[in-house]
């Protein structure tokens, strides 16, 4: 199931989540000018809901102030209105929208299906993968109403990432077996492309930048971010780094590329927060609450 809650007591858990340092990687792949990579949390330990990712290190900076304790899946950039839409799993299956310029995160409406993934094409047409029916379904970005499914996508498998490439092809990240592949918007057929993206098989979030490079998050391996040519992922993948916020692992299964936004107006001092943030974690010796999603057997 996607929202099993595992509560682990003891200060030892807090200590385990604190990383000794953020690793540096040689010549990490960069994003096109004017684009940024955003991560959306899915953790009960109070991480920022939306973070701007430094693709050179994996370090996350808070974007939307004072919104915590959230769980999101499959953000999708809409080029029609320059906003990022995302599935909010916090209390129900709801559609939300993130405005990168206003730095706001707003709930739109509850879905009338059970979506795990969301993708938006160049014309603003949106699609979801419905976990209840395994179907690819169109969805309204104004009402969150799900349309009639066009077909089953790899029946029995689970998807946490789905995105349109700049050439208009829809791709999905198959969490069940680690495959990346195309998804037909005509009949939902999933076709593997190349070899599996992750050794662990746990490729969750999937997004593309304007140059056609795919960015994938390996949520089981400490939320590591990879980028590659999706047609030859195993041969071209590059590790950007592990997602961290103030030196602590930032758990996410949802990443999306969108317009860059200045963080100057937020008034956030990431250096100052690094000290207080770690101290706050140490004070929470009662435990850490982690969100873990797995499909019911």
173's tokens: 């990240």
Phi, psi of 48 (to 5 degrees): -60, 140
- Residue 288 belongs to a domain: no
CATH assignment of the domain containing 62? 2.120.10
Q: Residue 263 has what pLDDT? A: 61
| pLDDT tens sequence for the chain (297 residues) | 344 333 222 333 333 333 333 333 335 689 999 999 999 998 767 889 999 999 988 999 999 988 888 899 999 999 999 999 999 998 889 999 999 999 999 999 999 999 999 999 999 999 999 999 999 999 999 999 999 999 999 877 888 889 999 999 999 988 877 788 899 999 999 998 876 555 555 667 899 999 999 998 876 666 788 888 888 887 788 888 889 999 888 888 899 999 997 664 443 332 222 222 222 322 222 222 233 343 333
| DSSP strand pairing (252-259 vs 238-242) | unpaired
233 Cβ contact partners less than 8 Å away, ≥ 6 residues apart: 180, 193, 194, 195, 196, 197, 214, 216
What per-residue confidence (pLDDT) applies to 16? 36
Q: Shortest CA distance to 283 belongs to which of 14, 32, 40?
A: 14
User: Is 228 domain-assigned?
Assistant: yes
Q: How many domains does the chain have?
A: 1
Please report whether residue 27 resides in a domain. no
Classify residue 47: in a domain, yes or no.
no
Q: Is residue 297 part of a domain?
A: no
Other CB atoms within a 10 A radius of the CB of residue 276 amount to 11
Q: How far apart are CA 232 and CA 238, in angstroms?
A: 12
Q: What is the pLDDT of residue 157?
A: 84
Q: Judge whether 177 lies within some domain.
A: yes
Q: Determine the Cα–Cα distance for residues 102 and 296; give it in Å rounded to an integer.
A: 38
**Helices (H) then strands (E): counts for the chain:** 3, 24
Structural domain containing residue 103 = 32-42+52-275
Query: Is residue 163 packed enough to be buried (19+ CB in 10 Å), middle (13-18) or exposed (0-12)?
Result: buried
Assigned domain for 202 exists: yes
Q: Which two tokens stand for residue 23?
A: 């690793």
Sole residue written with tokens 């990022």: 84
**pTM, to two decimals:** 0.80
In a domain, 95, yes or no: yes
């Amino acid at each position: 199931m996607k929202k099993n809650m595992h509560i682990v007591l003891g200060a030892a858990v807090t200590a385990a989540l604190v990383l000794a340092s953020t690793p540096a990687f040689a010549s990490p792949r960069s994003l096109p000018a004017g684009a940024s990579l955003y991560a959306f949390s899915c953790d009960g330990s109070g991480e920022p809901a939306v973070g701007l990712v430094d693709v050179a290190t994996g370090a996350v900076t808070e974007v939307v102030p004072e919104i915590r304790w959230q769980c999101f899946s499959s953000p999708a950039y809409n080029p029609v209105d320059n906003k990022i839409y995302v599935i909010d799993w916090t209390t129900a299956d709801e559609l939300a929208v993130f405005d990168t310029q206003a730095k706001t995160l707003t709930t739109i409406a509850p879905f009338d299906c059970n979506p795990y993934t969301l993708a938006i094409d160049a014309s603003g047409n949106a699609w979801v993968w419905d976990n209840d029916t395994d179907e690819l379904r169109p969805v309204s970005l104004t009402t969150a109403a799900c349309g009639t499914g066009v077909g089953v996508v790899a029946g029995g498998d689970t998807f946490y990432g789905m995105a349109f490439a700049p050439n208009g092809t829809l791709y999905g990240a198959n969490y069940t077996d680690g495959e990346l592949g195309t998804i037909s918007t005509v009949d939902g057929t999933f076709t593997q492309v190349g070899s599996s993206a992750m050794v662990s098989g746990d490729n969750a979030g999937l997004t593309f930048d304007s140059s056609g490079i795919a960015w994938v998050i390996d949520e089981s391996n400490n939320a590591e971010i990879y980028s590659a040519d999706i047609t030859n992922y195993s041969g071209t993948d590059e590790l950007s780094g592990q997602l961290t916020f103030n030196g602590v692992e930032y758990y996410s299964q949802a990443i999306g590329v969108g317009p860059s936004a200045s963080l100057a107006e937020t008034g956030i001092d990431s250096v100052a927060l690094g000290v207080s943030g770690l101290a706050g974690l140490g004070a929470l010796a009662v435990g850490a609450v982690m969100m873990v999603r797995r499909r019911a057997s």
